[in-house]
Amino acid sequence: MDTSARPHPLHRIMVTGASAGIGRAIVRLLAGRGHQLHAIARGEEKLAALARETGCTFDAVDIRDLQRMRQVVDTVKPAVLVNNAGTSRATRVLAATPEAIAETIETNITATLGLTRLALTHMLEAGGGQIVTIGSVAGIHPTPSTVYGATKGALHRLSQALRLELLGTGIRITEICPGLTDTTLVTDELRRHAGGAKMLDPDDVADAVRYAIEAPQHVNIATIELLSVEQAMGGAHFKPVAGDRTK
């Protein structure tokens, strides 16, 4: 369903992790369509450049600082929150340090959940709104990215449960689950595993976000699983038997 040809309501949209990659692409696209954008990230210089380009407002803040984020949310009062900020610092359990695991959990789960709660208080007062969370196919399907996948799996369950908790409030809950996307979060290991296959572009994910936000207000785009045509999820993998010469 193409929503680009018909008028859509304009929103105050807060996007986290907006200084690069998917977040920056989301701000660029939605600002170009007339929405009011407020960008959140840690890098002030990159945010300032994005503001000059798109006209967005911004705050340079770490989303893990919930006291500061409460001040920002209370000022902006977003009608739409796009939870995009995250880290892939910890992927495999055995290869990750305890510090990397803790940071991944704190950023991807704890901070995202806390920020969502802050935004929801204003949406409930307004009688509507939307939470859009950038998850991952690693949160739906088993992958070797064990720690990262576990945090995205938690966000997948969060989105599903919030739809039940908020039923009747007019608040829409959307989860966008991309596959491999060409950003700095893609590890060297994953790039080698991709073997040069075409990955998604950040603009591809941004357009899925646009589609979900600009859908008619009575429509909730619940979950979008977004893959490059050269990537597929599922199947089974087996350790080769010693001496097995089959290909």
Residues 205-219 pLDDT 10s? 999 999 999 999 999
Query: Among all chains, which residue has been given the structure tokens 């075409």?
Result: 198
Residue 211 falls in the annotated catalytic set = no
pTM exceeds 0.75, yes or no: yes
The tokens describing 182, both together, are 């060409």
The tokens describing 76, both together, are 């902006």
The tokens describing 80, both together, are 């739409």
List the domain range (segments joined by +) for residue 142: 12-183+191-226
Q: Is the distance from CB of 18 to CB of 27 less than 8 angstroms?
A: yes
Residue 154 lies in a domain: yes
Q: Is the distance from CB of 15 to CB of 38 less than 8 angstroms?
A: yes
Domain tally for the chain? 1
- The domain that holds 26 is classified in CATH as 3.40.50.720
The predicted pLDDT at position 247 comes to 43
Residue 246 lies in a domain: no
Residue 176 lies in a domain: yes
Residue 4 lies in a domain: no
Residue 81 lies in a domain: yes
Which residues neighbour 146 within 8 Å (Cβ) at sequence distance 6 or greater?
91, 92, 93
Residues 103-135 pLDDT 10s? 999 999 999 999 999 999 999 999 999 999 999
Phi and psi, residue 172, nearest 5° = -95, 145
Residue 1 lies in a domain: no
Instruction: Give 232: exposed, middle or buried? Use CB within 10 Å, 0-12, 13-18, 19+.
Output: exposed
Q: Which of 38, 39, 79, 148 is the catalytic position?
A: 148
Residue 242 lies in a domain: no
